[in-house]
Chain A
Protein backbone atom coordinates (compact mmCIF):
# COMPACT_ATOMS: atom_id res chain seq x y z
CA UNK A 1 0.00 0.00 0.00
CA UNK A 2 1.48 3.38 -0.96
CA UNK A 3 2.31 5.94 1.72
CA UNK A 4 -0.47 8.18 0.46
CA UNK A 5 -3.07 5.43 0.74
CA UNK A 6 -1.82 4.56 4.25
CA UNK A 7 -2.12 8.20 5.26
CA UNK A 8 -5.62 8.49 3.80
CA UNK A 9 -6.70 5.32 5.67
CA UNK A 10 -4.98 6.31 8.91
CA UNK A 11 -6.45 4.58 11.96
CA UNK A 12 -8.56 7.16 13.79
CA UNK A 13 -7.06 6.09 17.14
CA UNK A 14 -3.72 7.50 15.98
CA UNK A 15 -5.46 10.81 15.32
CA UNK A 16 -7.06 10.61 18.78
CA UNK A 17 -3.65 10.03 20.37
CA UNK A 18 -2.07 12.94 18.47
CA UNK A 19 -4.92 15.22 19.52
CA UNK A 20 -4.57 14.15 23.15
CA UNK A 21 -0.88 14.99 23.11
CA UNK A 22 -1.50 18.31 21.34
CA UNK A 23 -4.06 19.34 23.97
CA UNK A 24 -2.22 18.01 27.03
CA UNK A 25 1.24 19.34 26.17
CA UNK A 26 0.50 23.07 26.60
CA UNK A 27 -1.21 22.34 29.93
CA UNK A 28 1.96 20.71 31.26
CA UNK A 29 4.21 23.30 29.58
CA UNK A 30 2.22 26.56 29.51
CA UNK A 31 3.21 29.19 26.97
CA UNK A 32 1.58 32.61 27.15
CA UNK A 33 1.24 34.47 23.85
CA UNK A 34 -0.13 37.95 23.20
CA UNK A 35 -3.87 37.93 22.53
CA UNK A 36 -6.10 40.54 20.88
CA UNK A 37 -9.37 41.47 22.56
CA UNK A 38 -12.31 40.68 20.29
CA UNK A 39 -14.81 43.46 19.65
CA UNK A 40 -17.77 41.49 21.07
CA UNK A 41 -15.90 40.91 24.34
CA UNK A 42 -14.90 44.56 24.65
CA UNK A 43 -18.51 45.70 24.13
CA UNK A 44 -19.73 43.20 26.73
CA UNK A 45 -17.11 44.31 29.25
CA UNK A 46 -17.89 48.00 28.72
CA UNK A 47 -21.60 47.24 29.14
CA UNK A 48 -20.90 45.68 32.54
CA UNK A 49 -18.56 48.53 33.44
CA UNK A 50 -21.25 51.11 32.70
CA UNK A 51 -23.77 49.74 35.23
CA UNK A 52 -24.14 52.39 37.96
CA UNK A 53 -23.57 51.58 41.62
CA UNK A 54 -26.70 50.67 43.53
CA UNK A 55 -28.34 49.00 40.53
CA UNK A 56 -29.74 45.49 40.74
CA UNK A 57 -28.86 43.16 37.87
CA UNK A 58 -29.99 39.66 36.93
CA UNK A 59 -27.51 36.92 36.10
CA UNK A 60 -28.62 33.64 34.54
CA UNK A 61 -26.09 31.03 35.60
CA UNK A 62 -26.20 28.49 32.79
CA UNK A 63 -22.79 26.86 33.11
CA UNK A 64 -22.74 23.11 33.62
CA UNK A 65 -20.04 20.56 34.31
CA UNK A 66 -18.73 20.59 30.77
CA UNK A 67 -18.83 24.34 30.24
CA UNK A 68 -17.77 25.58 33.68
CA UNK A 69 -14.03 25.35 32.87
CA UNK A 70 -14.63 27.71 29.94
CA UNK A 71 -17.07 30.18 31.37
CA UNK A 72 -16.64 29.77 35.11
CA UNK A 73 -13.48 31.88 35.44
CA UNK A 74 -15.15 34.67 33.45
CA UNK A 75 -18.34 34.53 35.54
CA UNK A 76 -16.32 34.64 38.76
CA UNK A 77 -14.45 37.72 37.52
CA UNK A 78 -17.72 39.38 36.49
CA UNK A 79 -19.22 38.79 39.94
CA UNK A 80 -16.13 40.42 41.49
CA UNK A 81 -16.43 43.24 38.92
CA UNK A 82 -20.10 43.97 39.63
CA UNK A 83 -20.05 43.59 43.41
CA UNK A 84 -16.86 45.64 43.52
CA UNK A 85 -18.75 48.48 41.77
CA UNK A 86 -21.55 48.34 44.31
CA UNK A 87 -23.97 46.61 41.94
CA UNK A 88 -26.34 44.05 43.49
CA UNK A 89 -26.89 40.70 41.83
CA UNK A 90 -29.81 38.28 41.61
CA UNK A 91 -28.85 34.86 40.22
CA UNK A 92 -31.13 32.21 38.80
CA UNK A 93 -30.72 29.15 36.58
CA UNK A 94 -32.93 27.22 34.20
CA UNK A 95 -31.20 23.90 34.84
CA UNK A 96 -30.71 21.81 37.98
CA UNK A 97 -27.06 21.19 37.18
CA UNK A 98 -26.40 24.80 36.28
CA UNK A 99 -27.96 26.06 39.51
CA UNK A 100 -25.43 23.92 41.41
CA UNK A 101 -22.51 25.24 39.36
CA UNK A 102 -23.63 28.83 39.92
CA UNK A 103 -23.05 28.18 43.62
CA UNK A 104 -19.46 27.24 42.75
CA UNK A 105 -19.02 30.48 40.80
CA UNK A 106 -20.41 32.57 43.66
CA UNK A 107 -18.24 30.79 46.26
CA UNK A 108 -15.08 31.20 44.18
CA UNK A 109 -15.85 34.84 43.44
CA UNK A 110 -16.46 35.61 47.11
CA UNK A 111 -13.14 33.96 47.98
CA UNK A 112 -11.37 36.21 45.46
CA UNK A 113 -13.24 39.36 46.48
CA UNK A 114 -10.98 42.20 47.62
CA UNK A 115 -11.42 43.07 51.29
CA UNK A 116 -13.86 45.84 52.04
CA UNK A 117 -16.28 44.95 49.24
CA UNK A 118 -19.83 44.42 50.48
CA UNK A 119 -20.87 40.89 49.49
CA UNK A 120 -23.51 39.68 51.90
CA UNK A 121 -25.99 36.97 50.90
CA UNK A 122 -29.48 38.41 50.81
CA UNK A 123 -28.27 42.01 50.87
CA UNK A 124 -25.79 42.37 48.01
CA UNK A 125 -26.57 39.16 46.14
CA UNK A 126 -29.05 36.31 46.18
CA UNK A 127 -29.17 33.00 44.32
CA UNK A 128 -32.76 32.05 43.57
CA UNK A 129 -31.75 28.68 42.15
CA UNK A 130 -33.51 26.45 39.66
CA UNK A 131 -36.53 27.57 37.65
CA UNK A 132 -37.89 24.71 35.51
CA UNK A 133 -39.86 25.01 32.28
CA UNK A 134 -37.26 26.35 29.87
CA UNK A 135 -38.52 29.43 28.04
CA UNK A 136 -41.91 29.16 29.75
CA UNK A 137 -40.13 29.20 33.09
CA UNK A 138 -38.14 32.28 32.07
CA UNK A 139 -41.38 34.00 31.01
CA UNK A 140 -43.07 33.12 34.29
CA UNK A 141 -40.01 34.30 36.26
CA UNK A 142 -39.74 37.55 34.28
CA UNK A 143 -43.42 38.42 34.81
CA UNK A 144 -43.69 37.48 38.47
CA UNK A 145 -40.74 36.05 40.36
CA UNK A 146 -42.80 35.05 43.37
CA UNK A 147 -45.12 32.95 41.20
CA UNK A 148 -42.28 30.48 40.56
CA UNK A 149 -39.94 30.92 43.53
CA UNK A 150 -40.92 30.96 47.18
CA UNK A 151 -37.40 30.55 48.54
CA UNK A 152 -33.84 30.99 47.39
CA UNK A 153 -31.44 28.17 46.46
CA UNK A 154 -30.37 27.79 50.10
CA UNK A 155 -33.91 27.53 51.47
CA UNK A 156 -34.41 31.09 52.76
CA UNK A 157 -38.00 32.30 52.14
CA UNK A 158 -38.12 35.19 49.69
CA UNK A 159 -40.04 37.33 52.19
CA UNK A 160 -36.93 37.25 54.42
CA UNK A 161 -34.52 38.44 51.70
CA UNK A 162 -33.98 42.25 51.94
CA UNK A 163 -32.57 42.49 48.40
CA UNK A 164 -35.86 41.26 46.91
CA UNK A 165 -38.12 43.60 48.86
CA UNK A 166 -38.84 45.72 45.75
CA UNK A 167 -37.92 43.21 43.09
CA UNK A 168 -40.55 41.00 41.51
CA UNK A 169 -40.29 41.25 37.74
CA UNK A 170 -37.75 41.73 34.97
CA UNK A 171 -38.37 45.47 34.64
CA UNK A 172 -37.06 45.89 38.21
CA UNK A 173 -33.57 45.01 36.99
CA UNK A 174 -31.14 47.46 35.36
CA UNK A 175 -29.52 44.84 33.15
CA UNK A 176 -29.33 41.13 32.46
CA UNK A 177 -26.19 39.03 32.13
CA UNK A 178 -27.02 35.72 30.52
CA UNK A 179 -24.26 33.18 31.11
CA UNK A 180 -25.93 30.61 28.93
CA UNK A 181 -23.00 28.23 28.43
CA UNK A 182 -24.14 25.64 25.93
CA UNK A 183 -27.84 25.84 26.89
CA UNK A 184 -28.73 27.76 23.73
CA UNK A 185 -30.93 29.83 26.02
CA UNK A 186 -29.82 33.36 25.19
CA UNK A 187 -32.82 33.75 22.83
CA UNK A 188 -35.07 33.01 25.83
CA UNK A 189 -33.65 36.06 27.57
CA UNK A 190 -33.97 38.18 24.45
CA UNK A 191 -37.54 37.07 23.77
CA UNK A 192 -38.87 37.05 27.34
CA UNK A 193 -36.90 39.85 29.00
CA UNK A 194 -35.29 42.20 26.46
CA UNK A 195 -38.21 42.45 24.02
CA UNK A 196 -41.18 42.73 26.42
CA UNK A 197 -39.48 44.68 29.22
CA UNK A 198 -36.74 46.58 27.37
CA UNK A 199 -34.04 45.49 29.83
CA UNK A 200 -30.60 45.58 28.12
CA UNK A 201 -28.67 42.34 28.03
CA UNK A 202 -25.26 40.87 27.38
CA UNK A 203 -24.11 37.33 27.86
CA UNK A 204 -21.72 34.48 27.51
CA UNK A 205 -22.04 31.41 25.39
CA UNK A 206 -19.79 28.61 24.26
CA UNK A 207 -17.57 29.33 21.27
CA UNK A 208 -19.72 27.37 18.83
CA UNK A 209 -22.81 29.47 19.56
CA UNK A 210 -21.29 32.90 18.94
CA UNK A 211 -22.25 32.99 15.23
CA UNK A 212 -25.87 32.15 16.16
CA UNK A 213 -26.13 35.34 18.20
CA UNK A 214 -24.31 37.68 15.80
CA UNK A 215 -27.67 38.88 14.35
CA UNK A 216 -28.86 39.84 17.83
CA UNK A 217 -25.63 41.77 18.43
CA UNK A 218 -25.85 43.51 15.04
CA UNK A 219 -29.46 44.49 15.70
CA UNK A 220 -28.65 45.88 19.15
CA UNK A 221 -30.72 43.32 21.08
CA UNK A 222 -27.54 41.98 22.67
CA UNK A 223 -24.70 44.19 23.89
CA UNK A 224 -21.71 42.13 22.82
CA UNK A 225 -21.02 38.58 23.95
CA UNK A 226 -18.24 36.63 25.62
CA UNK A 227 -17.49 33.59 23.50
CA UNK A 228 -16.14 30.49 25.21
CA UNK A 229 -12.85 30.33 27.03
CA UNK A 230 -11.42 33.10 24.85
CA UNK A 231 -14.18 35.45 25.97
CA UNK A 232 -13.60 34.54 29.61
CA UNK A 233 -9.85 35.04 29.17
CA UNK A 234 -10.45 38.46 27.62
CA UNK A 235 -12.68 39.45 30.54
CA UNK A 236 -9.95 38.33 32.95
CA UNK A 237 -7.44 40.37 30.96
CA UNK A 238 -9.63 43.50 30.89
CA UNK A 239 -10.17 43.20 34.65
CA UNK A 240 -6.43 42.60 35.14
CA UNK A 241 -7.22 39.32 36.94
CA UNK A 242 -5.42 36.64 34.85
CA UNK A 243 -6.58 33.17 35.77
CA UNK A 244 -7.57 29.74 34.54
CA UNK A 245 -9.31 30.94 31.39
CA UNK A 246 -6.18 32.57 30.02
CA UNK A 247 -4.16 29.36 30.44
CA UNK A 248 -6.90 27.34 28.76
CA UNK A 249 -7.15 29.79 25.87
CA UNK A 250 -3.43 29.36 25.28
CA UNK A 251 -3.82 25.59 25.39
CA UNK A 252 -6.07 25.66 22.30
CA UNK A 253 -3.08 26.66 20.15
CA UNK A 254 -1.59 23.25 19.43
CA UNK A 255 -4.93 21.50 19.04
CA UNK A 256 -6.09 24.11 16.56
CA UNK A 257 -2.88 23.94 14.57
CA UNK A 258 -3.03 20.15 14.46
CA UNK A 259 -6.63 20.26 13.24
CA UNK A 260 -5.77 22.81 10.53
CA UNK A 261 -2.75 20.74 9.49
CA UNK A 262 -4.80 17.54 9.25
CA UNK A 263 -7.52 19.21 7.19
CA UNK A 264 -5.01 20.73 4.75
CA UNK A 265 -3.09 17.45 4.54
CA UNK A 266 -6.28 15.48 3.98
CA UNK A 267 -7.31 17.79 1.14
CA UNK A 268 -3.86 17.70 -0.50
CA UNK A 269 -3.84 13.90 -0.40
CA UNK A 270 -7.41 13.82 -1.70
CA UNK A 271 -6.60 16.01 -4.70
CA UNK A 272 -3.44 14.03 -5.50
CA UNK A 273 -5.40 10.77 -5.31
CA UNK A 274 -8.16 12.21 -7.49
CA UNK A 275 -5.63 13.39 -10.07
CA UNK A 276 -3.96 9.97 -10.11
CA UNK A 277 -7.34 8.28 -10.63
CA UNK A 278 -8.10 10.72 -13.43
CA UNK A 279 -4.75 9.99 -15.09
CA UNK A 280 -5.37 6.23 -14.82
Chain B
Protein backbone atom coordinates (compact mmCIF):
# COMPACT_ATOMS: atom_id res chain seq x y z
CA UNK B 1 0.00 0.00 0.00
CA UNK B 2 1.63 3.29 -1.01
CA UNK B 3 1.76 6.34 1.23
CA UNK B 4 -0.85 8.19 -0.87
CA UNK B 5 -3.51 5.49 -0.37
CA UNK B 6 -2.49 5.07 3.27
CA UNK B 7 -2.92 8.79 3.68
CA UNK B 8 -6.42 8.73 2.18
CA UNK B 9 -7.43 5.88 4.51
CA UNK B 10 -5.97 7.65 7.55
CA UNK B 11 -7.76 10.83 6.48
CA UNK B 12 -11.01 8.92 6.14
CA UNK B 13 -10.68 7.44 9.62
CA UNK B 14 -9.95 10.73 11.34
CA UNK B 15 -12.81 12.38 9.41
CA UNK B 16 -15.21 9.74 10.74
CA UNK B 17 -13.86 10.52 14.20
CA UNK B 18 -14.55 14.21 13.69
CA UNK B 19 -18.05 13.63 12.29
CA UNK B 20 -18.92 11.34 15.20
CA UNK B 21 -19.41 14.46 17.31
CA UNK B 22 -22.76 14.87 15.54
CA UNK B 23 -24.24 12.09 17.63
CA UNK B 24 -22.80 13.66 20.76
CA UNK B 25 -19.44 14.02 22.47
CA UNK B 26 -17.73 10.64 22.63
CA UNK B 27 -14.19 9.33 23.24
CA UNK B 28 -13.45 9.03 19.52
CA UNK B 29 -14.42 12.62 18.73
CA UNK B 30 -12.45 13.96 21.69
CA UNK B 31 -9.41 11.90 20.70
CA UNK B 32 -9.69 13.25 17.15
CA UNK B 33 -10.03 16.84 18.30
CA UNK B 34 -6.98 16.63 20.56
CA UNK B 35 -4.99 14.91 17.85
CA UNK B 36 -5.94 17.72 15.47
CA UNK B 37 -4.96 20.43 17.93
CA UNK B 38 -1.64 18.74 18.64
CA UNK B 39 -0.61 18.23 15.04
CA UNK B 40 -1.80 21.69 13.97
CA UNK B 41 -0.03 23.28 16.93
CA UNK B 42 3.17 21.49 16.02
CA UNK B 43 2.82 22.51 12.38
CA UNK B 44 2.27 26.17 13.24
CA UNK B 45 5.19 26.07 15.69
CA UNK B 46 7.55 24.54 13.15
CA UNK B 47 6.64 26.73 10.18
CA UNK B 48 6.75 29.96 12.16
CA UNK B 49 9.99 28.99 13.82
CA UNK B 50 11.39 28.34 10.34
CA UNK B 51 10.27 31.85 9.29
CA UNK B 52 11.90 33.51 12.29
CA UNK B 53 15.08 31.52 11.80
CA UNK B 54 15.26 32.33 8.09
CA UNK B 55 14.34 36.01 8.27
CA UNK B 56 15.77 37.11 11.61
CA UNK B 57 18.36 34.69 12.99
CA UNK B 58 20.14 33.94 9.70
CA UNK B 59 20.51 37.64 8.72
CA UNK B 60 22.10 38.36 12.13
CA UNK B 61 24.51 35.47 11.64
CA UNK B 62 25.35 36.92 8.23
CA UNK B 63 26.18 40.33 9.77
CA UNK B 64 22.91 42.22 9.42
CA UNK B 65 22.73 43.19 13.10
CA UNK B 66 19.60 45.36 12.83
CA UNK B 67 17.57 42.15 13.08
CA UNK B 68 18.78 41.72 16.65
CA UNK B 69 16.03 44.22 17.48
CA UNK B 70 13.43 41.95 15.85
CA UNK B 71 14.74 38.93 17.79
CA UNK B 72 14.75 40.95 21.01
CA UNK B 73 11.17 42.09 20.43
CA UNK B 74 10.12 38.50 19.71
CA UNK B 75 11.71 37.30 22.95
CA UNK B 76 10.02 40.15 24.87
CA UNK B 77 6.69 38.82 23.66
CA UNK B 78 7.25 35.69 25.75
CA UNK B 79 7.23 37.78 28.92
CA UNK B 80 3.44 37.38 28.77
CA UNK B 81 3.96 33.98 30.35
CA UNK B 82 4.78 35.67 33.66
CA UNK B 83 2.47 38.41 34.92
CA UNK B 84 5.23 40.41 36.68
CA UNK B 85 7.04 40.79 33.36
CA UNK B 86 3.95 41.29 31.21
CA UNK B 87 4.81 44.96 30.65
CA UNK B 88 7.80 43.92 28.52
CA UNK B 89 5.45 42.44 25.91
CA UNK B 90 3.84 45.85 25.40
CA UNK B 91 6.77 46.94 23.22
CA UNK B 92 6.37 44.30 20.49
CA UNK B 93 2.59 44.74 20.77
CA UNK B 94 3.07 48.48 20.28
CA UNK B 95 4.96 47.74 17.07
CA UNK B 96 2.42 45.30 15.64
CA UNK B 97 -0.67 47.25 16.68
CA UNK B 98 0.76 50.61 15.62
CA UNK B 99 1.98 49.37 12.25
CA UNK B 100 -1.14 47.30 11.65
CA UNK B 101 -3.52 50.14 12.41
CA UNK B 102 -1.46 52.63 10.45
CA UNK B 103 -1.36 50.37 7.40
CA UNK B 104 -5.09 49.65 7.62
CA UNK B 105 -6.12 53.28 8.15
CA UNK B 106 -3.99 54.74 5.38
CA UNK B 107 -5.55 52.61 2.67
CA UNK B 108 -9.04 52.08 4.08
CA UNK B 109 -9.64 55.80 3.66
CA UNK B 110 -9.00 55.51 -0.07
CA UNK B 111 -10.39 52.09 -0.90
CA UNK B 112 -13.22 51.48 1.56
CA UNK B 113 -14.34 55.02 2.33
CA UNK B 114 -13.69 57.27 -0.66
CA UNK B 115 -13.73 54.40 -3.16
CA UNK B 116 -17.16 53.20 -2.12
CA UNK B 117 -18.60 56.72 -1.85
CA UNK B 118 -17.31 57.55 -5.33
CA UNK B 119 -18.91 54.39 -6.67
CA UNK B 120 -22.21 55.42 -5.12
CA UNK B 121 -22.31 58.71 -7.00
CA UNK B 122 -24.51 57.43 -9.81
CA UNK B 123 -26.90 59.11 -12.25
CA UNK B 124 -30.43 58.62 -10.94
CA UNK B 125 -31.72 57.48 -14.32
CA UNK B 126 -32.63 53.87 -13.49
CA UNK B 127 -34.34 51.99 -10.66
CA UNK B 128 -31.13 50.07 -9.94
CA UNK B 129 -29.10 53.26 -9.49
CA UNK B 130 -31.78 54.87 -7.32
CA UNK B 131 -31.97 51.78 -5.11
CA UNK B 132 -28.19 51.58 -4.88
CA UNK B 133 -27.91 55.20 -3.71
CA UNK B 134 -30.81 54.96 -1.27
CA UNK B 135 -29.63 51.60 0.03
CA UNK B 136 -26.02 52.71 0.58
CA UNK B 137 -26.97 55.94 2.34
CA UNK B 138 -29.61 54.41 4.58
CA UNK B 139 -27.62 51.30 5.51
CA UNK B 140 -24.56 53.43 6.35
CA UNK B 141 -26.81 55.75 8.38
CA UNK B 142 -28.23 52.75 10.25
CA UNK B 143 -24.95 52.51 12.15
CA UNK B 144 -25.33 55.98 13.69
CA UNK B 145 -26.40 54.70 17.08
CA UNK B 146 -26.07 58.07 18.77
CA UNK B 147 -29.10 59.52 16.95
CA UNK B 148 -32.62 58.93 18.26
CA UNK B 149 -34.81 56.99 15.86
CA UNK B 150 -37.67 59.46 15.65
CA UNK B 151 -39.02 61.83 13.06
CA UNK B 152 -37.71 61.45 9.49
CA UNK B 153 -34.65 59.52 10.74
CA UNK B 154 -36.99 56.69 11.79
CA UNK B 155 -37.74 55.99 8.12
CA UNK B 156 -34.06 56.22 7.18
CA UNK B 157 -33.33 53.66 9.89
CA UNK B 158 -36.12 51.31 8.79
CA UNK B 159 -35.12 51.50 5.13
CA UNK B 160 -31.50 50.84 5.99
CA UNK B 161 -32.53 47.84 8.05
CA UNK B 162 -34.39 46.34 5.06
CA UNK B 163 -31.29 46.62 2.86
CA UNK B 164 -29.12 45.15 5.60
CA UNK B 165 -31.55 42.27 6.06
CA UNK B 166 -31.42 41.62 2.33
CA UNK B 167 -27.62 41.55 2.60
CA UNK B 168 -27.77 39.14 5.55
CA UNK B 169 -30.30 36.96 3.76
CA UNK B 170 -28.08 36.71 0.69
CA UNK B 171 -25.09 35.92 2.93
CA UNK B 172 -27.11 33.25 4.73
CA UNK B 173 -28.13 31.58 1.47
CA UNK B 174 -24.55 31.66 0.21
CA UNK B 175 -23.26 30.39 3.56
CA UNK B 176 -25.61 27.40 3.45
CA UNK B 177 -24.24 26.47 0.03
CA UNK B 178 -20.68 26.97 1.30
CA UNK B 179 -21.21 24.62 4.23
CA UNK B 180 -22.59 21.93 1.91
CA UNK B 181 -19.53 22.34 -0.31
CA UNK B 182 -17.32 21.70 2.71
CA UNK B 183 -19.02 18.39 3.46
CA UNK B 184 -19.00 17.39 -0.20
CA UNK B 185 -15.29 18.13 -0.39
CA UNK B 186 -14.62 15.73 2.46
CA UNK B 187 -17.02 13.06 1.22
CA UNK B 188 -15.44 13.09 -2.25
CA UNK B 189 -12.15 11.95 -0.68
CA UNK B 190 -13.79 9.47 1.70
CA UNK B 191 -15.93 7.84 -0.98
CA UNK B 192 -13.30 7.46 -3.71
CA UNK B 193 -13.50 3.95 -5.23
CA UNK B 194 -10.10 2.92 -3.80
CA UNK B 195 -10.99 4.14 -0.30
CA UNK B 196 -14.77 3.63 -0.06
CA UNK B 197 -14.64 0.07 1.30
CA UNK B 198 -12.23 1.11 4.04
CA UNK B 199 -14.57 4.01 4.88
CA UNK B 200 -17.59 1.71 5.20
CA UNK B 201 -15.60 -0.77 7.31
CA UNK B 202 -14.42 1.98 9.65
CA UNK B 203 -17.96 3.38 9.90
CA UNK B 204 -19.18 -0.07 10.90
CA UNK B 205 -16.43 -0.50 13.51
CA UNK B 206 -17.04 2.96 14.96
CA UNK B 207 -20.81 2.36 15.06
CA UNK B 208 -20.29 -0.97 16.83
CA UNK B 209 -17.81 0.53 19.26
CA UNK B 210 -19.96 3.52 20.14
CA UNK B 211 -23.09 1.36 20.29
CA UNK B 212 -21.38 -0.98 22.76
CA UNK B 213 -20.23 2.00 24.80
CA UNK B 214 -23.71 3.47 24.98
CA UNK B 215 -25.42 0.14 25.75
CA UNK B 216 -23.04 -0.68 28.58
CA UNK B 217 -23.30 2.93 29.79
CA UNK B 218 -19.55 3.34 29.53
CA UNK B 219 -20.32 6.39 27.33
CA UNK B 220 -23.02 8.86 28.37
CA UNK B 221 -25.96 8.86 25.98
CA UNK B 222 -26.48 12.24 24.37
CA UNK B 223 -30.11 13.35 24.37
CA UNK B 224 -30.51 15.23 21.11
CA UNK B 225 -33.57 17.40 20.61
Contact = CB atoms under 8 A, between A and B. Distances in A.
Interface of A: 9, 11-13, 16, 19-20, 23-24, 27-28, 66-70, 96-97, 99, 130, 132-136, 139, 148-151, 182, 187, 190-192, 194-196, 206-212, 215, 218-221, 227-230, 244, 247-248, 251-252, 255-256, 259
A207 B48 contact: no
A150 B55 contact: yes
Contact of B43 (A70, A97, A182, A191): A97
Q: Is the interface of A mostly helix, strand, loop or mixed?
A: helix
Given A136-B100, A187-B112, A195-B111, A150 B59 contact: yes
Given A130-B51, A219-B115, A219-B118, A192 B103 contact: yes
Nearest to B118: A219
A187 B224 CA distance: 40
Given A130-B47, A136-B99, A218-B119, A255 B108 contact: no
B107 interface: yes
Given A69-B181, A130-B47, A191 B170 contact: no
Contact of A195 (B44, B115, B176, B184): B115
A255 B179 CA distance: 10
Contacts, number: 146
Contact of A96 (B43, B119, B179, B187): B43
Interface of B: 22-23, 43-44, 47-48, 51, 54-55, 58-59, 96, 99-100, 103-104, 107-108, 110-112, 115-116, 118-119, 132, 167, 170-171, 174-189, 191, 224-225
A191 B100 CA distance: 12
Contacts of A9: 225
Interface of B is mostly: helix
A248 B107 contact: no
A211 B171 contact: yes
Contacts of A259: 176, 180
6 contacts: A11-B225, A23-B180, A23-B183, A70-B185, A248-B181, A248-B185
A27 B107 contact: no
Given A69-B181, A148-B55, A227 B174 contact: yes
B174 A229 contact: no
A53 B12 CA distance: 42
A96 B40 CA distance: 10
